[in-house]
Amino acid sequence: MKIKVAAKLDPGYMPIHLAMLDFERRAAEEGSVSVAVAVERGSDRVNVVNTAVFASGHEDENFNYVERLIKSMLWVYGGYKVIFAGPKNVFDRIDAAYKPDGLRSFDYGFMAKVFEHPFECEYRELADMPETKGASASVGRHLDGCRIGFDAGGSDRKVSAVIDGETVYSEEVVWFPKTSKDPQYQYDGILSAMKTAASHMPRVDAIGVSSAGVIINNRLMSSSIFLAVSPEDYERVAKNVYLDTAREIGDVPVEVANDGDVTALAGAMDLGDNNVLGVAMGTSEAGGYVDGDGNVTGWLNELAFVPADYSKDAMVDEWSGDYGCGVKYFSQDAVIKLAPAAGIELDPSLSPAEKLKVVQGLMKEGDSRAAAIYETIGVYFGYTIAFYSRFYDIKHVLIMGRVTSGEGGQLVLDNAQKVLDAEFPELAEKITLHIPDENSRRVGQSVAAASLPERK
């Protein structure tokens, strides 16, 4: 496997897309057997990928390839069932991995929790495999009337009052939801924001919410903004928090969407185009997607847990216990991880956000060591965009989040473009990379959130 654009500060980096292409090429040359993998999140929502593995031998390679593919599919699409057709010995190892005590116990438990359905793996013959199905949903772009747009992040919350598409009031409030064990703190903060926005309009016709976390049927199935809350309190307060707070404002339509999807929607509205992938690089990595019809897919889009590095020596994510995941490549963790290799010593007593600020300060001063960090992240990103294109039909990529602020963000974009140009010219022709300006990010996000519900 040859890498045309090296990750300056990470010589061991093995781009997952190149590694998979290399595996597929060698399997085809030596003799391959067809494989199909389906991820199901309901009888009418299935995503299928068809591929191939070595027909004989290479058992560990076959398993590693299929395991990384299934891992990626689960965190892009979401689902509680994996259906597999192909070599039975590969399936048996996948089935063992997705057990409460298996290699992917975190993924197993997470999917079962958010979809409220037991997780399972099922073996089938190729002829019995399902087809991809599941229509995307048309949400957003409704700008008529008096609307509240609320955006819940891990360090601040934003709310806007929007009348016929114009923001008449907006505020941003620092809060600390991740450390609050009492969910009443979050509930009161959300309600206070909604009431403040409502006070700046003659009435409220609809409420749209953009929130960190996994949203299913307007319910918050998992979210970092309730990180410290007990499972019992989460069930009691957090899952329906946006529906319950909105009800206190009035009997109006409510629509809740993942903040990544709302970001992608805001970008699509701003660009006047579709097939938009939004990637936020902040405390973690968040993603969202608007398809070719301008709709939100209902996929999970939890890119933080989608692998970016095929090397088993890659850094392990503390939460999932897995290696090479996006969170360590496209977040403040990536900056902190690369700092020692760049020759930057960060005070261990600083918080991750404070460490990022130190590097950003050096970047402002023109420090070449800081520049090398952003260049390396850009190389990571270029190769990973190519990997994402296995799952998303992409015309535009928007990057945002505190990691991309300032000159560092432009370096990330420039180096991602270098990778696309050098390695994947067909993707370079098709995909345009963007960093929204500050005004578009702030105002656009609130208007997009407010536009989510359709008025009665």
Say which CATH number the domain at 319 has: 3.30.420.40
Nearest to 200 by CA among 450, 6, 424, 408: 450
Question: Is 26 domain-assigned?
Answer: no
Are both 427 and 333 inside the same structural domain?
A: yes
| pLDDT recorded at residue 381 | 98
Are both 303 and 409 inside the same structural domain?
A: yes
Domain limits at 376? 139-456
Are both 378 and 432 inside the same structural domain?
A: yes
Are both 149 and 66 inside the same structural domain?
A: no
| pLDDT recorded at residue 288 | 92
The tally of domains found in the chain comes to 2
pLDDT along the chain (456 residues), means of 10: 93 98 97 98 91 96 98 97 98 98 96 94 97 81 94 86 93 90 96 97 96 89 91 95 96 92 87 92 89 89 96 93 96 95 96 92 96 98 98 95 88 97 98 81 72 89
* Residue 444 near residue 270 (C-beta atoms within 8 A): yes
Q: Phi and psi for 384 in degrees, rounded to 5?
A: -75, -30
| pLDDT recorded at residue 439 | 56
Question: Is 22 domain-assigned?
Answer: no
Question: Is 13 domain-assigned?
Answer: no
* Residue 118 near residue 428 (C-beta atoms within 8 A): no
